[in-house]
Each structure stands twice: as C-alpha cells, then as structure tokens.
Amino acid sequence: MNTWLRVLTLLIVAAILQSSIFTEMRINGMGVELLLLIAILSGYHGGPVRGAHVSFWTGLVNDCVVASPLGIHALIYPVIAVAVSNLEERFINEKRVIRAFGVALAVATGVLLTAAVGHIFGEKTFNTDSLPETAIIAAVMTTFFSKPISRIVNWTVSSGMPQEVKTRIAGSSR
C-alpha cells in the first residue's frame, strides 16, 4: 500500500475517533489529543522531513475537526514533529519511562504553543488561568494511548523508507 494512502487512511480514522470517542473522554474539559500524538509520533518514526509533511496534514485535519481557524494546528504540528525527530536521536537507548515523559512533554508543549498562536490570532479557546493544568491533563491522557498508536504510526509513516533508516528506528523503539 502506498505510504500516502496509509497516511490518509490513518488521518481519516483518527479524525473520526477524535471527534467521536475521544470527545466523550474528558477531564476538566480536556481530552486526548490523538491528532497531536500522531504528529509527534510521525516525527519520531518518520524523521524530520516526512514527519513535518505528515504533521502538516495532521494539523489541517485537526483544524477541520475542531472549531479553530484553518492553519493554526498546521503551523504548530510540523515544528513539534521536527523537534521530536531531532531530540529522538539523543534518547535512542533510554527507558520507556523517559520516552513516555518525552511524549507527555511534547503533547504539553503542543497544547501550550497552540494556545499561544491562537491567542496571537485572537482565538480565545483556552482559559489562561488554567492553561498549565489543561496541558498537563492532556499530556497524561494522551501519553496513555501512545504505545498502541506508536505502532500504527510507525507502520504508516515508515513504509518506503530506506532500510538503514528503518534499522535505526527499530533500534530506538526497544
């Protein structure tokens, strides 16, 4: 199956899950950020270039799912994917707890950056008094789903990649 067909299928399924099931699972108004998790993991498994491409489209899909101006998430997600891809090389042999903390930190950063960019463009979706608490809740809830989603994103994004890149990624996924 073509890589971009896999990505399209993943994004459609994730958008449906984000707008249906994950909308119902909320704590203090914040839920699982599935599309942000896919953007983060695409940077981790796909490298900076492929991760940025997938994350851009993931951001556009997220903009269509939530009531935000088109392009805010598409502006933030590639930056996070490239940052995760560059930091991933430094944490290749780290334990699962450290990688889970990295995912949680990336999710919290994504929520905070999205709120900051939204605020710049006049979006008032987040209560600034509880923004750190909101980011922490989203990070913890999203990290809980990161292991199974990571396998799916790895299968989706890494198809057609050179073998030496796949070997490096397989060594870092232990």
Q: 76 in a domain, yes or no?
A: yes
Number of domains in the chain: 1
Cα–Cα distance measured from residue 20 to residue 169, given in angstroms and rounded to the nearest whole number = 32
Cα–Cα distance measured from residue 102 to residue 97, given in angstroms and rounded to the nearest whole number = 9
The answer to whether residue 166 scores a pLDDT higher than 80 is no
Question: How much of the chain is in helix, strand and coil states, percent to nearest 5?
Answer: 75, 0, 20
Q: Could you tell me which of 69, 75, 84 has the C-alpha nearest to residue 37? A: 84
The answer to whether residue 174 scores a pLDDT higher than 50 is no
Q: 72 in a domain, yes or no?
A: yes
Q: 173 in a domain, yes or no?
A: no
Report field, pTM of the whole predicted structure over 0.85:
yes
Q: What does the pLDDT read at residue 119?
A: 83
Q: 174 in a domain, yes or no?
A: no
Dihedral angle, C-alpha 85, 4, 96, 78, nearest 10 °: 30
Lowest mean pLDDT among 43-47, 118-122, 132-136, 154-158: 118-122
Q: 53 in a domain, yes or no?
A: yes
Q: Could you tell me which of 134, 131, 153, 125 has the C-alpha nearest to residue 37? A: 153
pLDDT tens readout for residues 62-118: 999 887 788 899 999 999 999 998 887 776 667 888 888 999 999 999 999 998 888
Domain that holds residue 141: 3-165
Q: 81 in a domain, yes or no?
A: yes
Q: What does the pLDDT read at residue 96?
A: 82
The CATH code of the domain that includes 145 is 1.10.1760
